[in-house]
Amino acid sequence: MSFTFSILATDGRARLGRIGTPHGSFDTPAFMAVGTRGSIKGVTPDQARNLDCQCILGNTYHLMLRPGPETVRQLGGLQTFSGWNGPMLTDSGGFQVFSLSDLREFDGPENGGGNEGGGVTFRSHIDGAVVRLTPRESMRIQHLLGADIIMAFDDCPPADCPPERLAAALERTHRWAEICKQAHEEFTNDPSRLMGHSPFTIHDSLFYPQALFAIVQGGTDLAARARSAAFLRGLDFPGYALGGLAVGEGHERMIDTIDVTAPLLPHEKPRYLMGVGYAKDILEAVKRGIDMFDCVLPTRNGRNGLAFTYQGTRRLRNAGYALDNAPLESDCDCYCCRHFSRGYLRHLFSVEEMLGPTLLSIHNIRFFQRWMSDIRAAIKNQTLSTLTAPPDELLGV
């Protein structure tokens, strides 16, 4: 089965849909849990499925450094390697190169580096090794990893960068999108090109069709966003992402940017808002026509003892929970809330038992999936305008 997207219902600009991939289908609007290095931290694939995770994200940057894409391919591709065996998406590596690593230097036509599109050289955040990533290499890595949806390699500048940097990033992102599309087609038609001089062999049967999404950049400059959307539309990708948001520009400016940019993308193709976000961000973006989200919030906050609930957030390390016999959230159907008290959770965090982060990650992932399910139901029932997001504020003791 190749990539499909069906819109089943709409409510205003919001869409209820379904994405089909070679590894199964998932409902949209979708929230993808992040399996950075091939695992959702602290949660098994079985648990993730029971929490209603339907599509998982893996990070190309982390997987290319360890264990390396050839190793993942030899072990069956990312879905088999990770034991998830369902729909997966990999990002391009761009965001982590620009946010995690040191010594980022561009080469390419504008720096006298020839006209192959150029790339970026950086130091690995693990051992300082110098690595060069290009759009073609990002495609090669993502083909070896084998996720169902892969992302074009983009230049993701910080929110507060000067206009010249933003303009250069846009230019580079567009040039790289063309190269990614070409390389994607080449690797799809002839997987033997993926291995280069590697000693590994490839079994053709391991390869599934992959859908390449483009990433619209432009910061919060609405004219730049419009130019980017128009250029990338012209290349006809099966899906489009909005990148470079939720990087410090604030909720209002982010929503304003989505409001203007989403309608410029093809109606019949999925729209993915990368790295977002909180429940209210997701609701406002869905109202403006976004179909896919991913964020590390549920697991990162879970590991740190912070739980999202429909009443607000709770910090489970707080001493005030020591004798609290209530479940974390009484209306939640997750394993954590059905079996354990706030007092027990507080104990796990205070003695640093690994079950604490696991239970809160389970609850937080379930919180986001319940919220997506509420959003999908509201679109179906045409009641999205009356839906209010759970509050962010810290509750209780």
Closer CB to Zn ion, 283 or 307, in the complex = 307
- Return the structure tokens found at 390: 């759970």
Coil, strand or helix: which one is 339?
helix
Nearest to 59 by CA among 96, 85, 30: 96
Closest separation in Å from C-beta 359 to Zn ion = 9
Applying CB under 5 A, the span of 183-191, 255-263, 330-338, 353-361 interacting with Zn ion comes to: 330-338
Closer CB to Zn ion, 156 or 337, in the complex = 337
Judged by CB under 5 A, how many residues of this single chain contact Zn ion? 5
How many residues are present in the chain?
Answer: 397
Number of H helices, E strands in the chain: 14, 16
The strand ranges marked E within the chain are 4-11, 14-21, 24-28, 30-34, 56-58, 88-90, 102-107, 119-123, 130-133, 149-151, 211-216, 239-242, 271-273, 292-295, 306-309, 312-315
Figure out which of the listed residues 48, 215, 332, 372 binds Zn ion, where binding follows CB under 5 A.
332
- Per CB under 5 A, 307 contacts Zn ion: no
**Torsion, Cα of 248, 253, 256, 262 (10° steps):** -20
Closer CB to Zn ion, 247 or 334, in the complex = 334
Applying CB under 5 A, the span of 12-20, 123-131, 253-261, 334-342 interacting with Zn ion comes to: 334-342
Closer CB to Zn ion, 279 or 336, in the complex = 336
User: Taking CB under 5 A as the rule, which mask of x and - marks residues 344-373 in contact with Zn ion?
Assistant: -------------------x----------
Q: Cα–Cα distance between 2 and 11 in angstroms, integer? A: 27
- Whole-angstrom CA distances from 216 to 154, 266, 393 are 9, 13, 32
Q: Which residues are catalytic?
A: 91, 294
Closest separation in Å from C-beta 200 to Zn ion = 43
Closer CB to Zn ion, 208 or 335, in the complex = 335
Closest separation in Å from C-beta 390 to Zn ion = 13
- Per CB under 5 A, 337 contacts Zn ion: yes
Q: Cα–Cα distance between 360 and 103 in angstroms, integer? A: 36
Closest separation in Å from C-beta 298 to Zn ion = 11
Where along the sequence are the contacts to Zn ion (CB under 5 A)? 332, 334, 336-337, 363
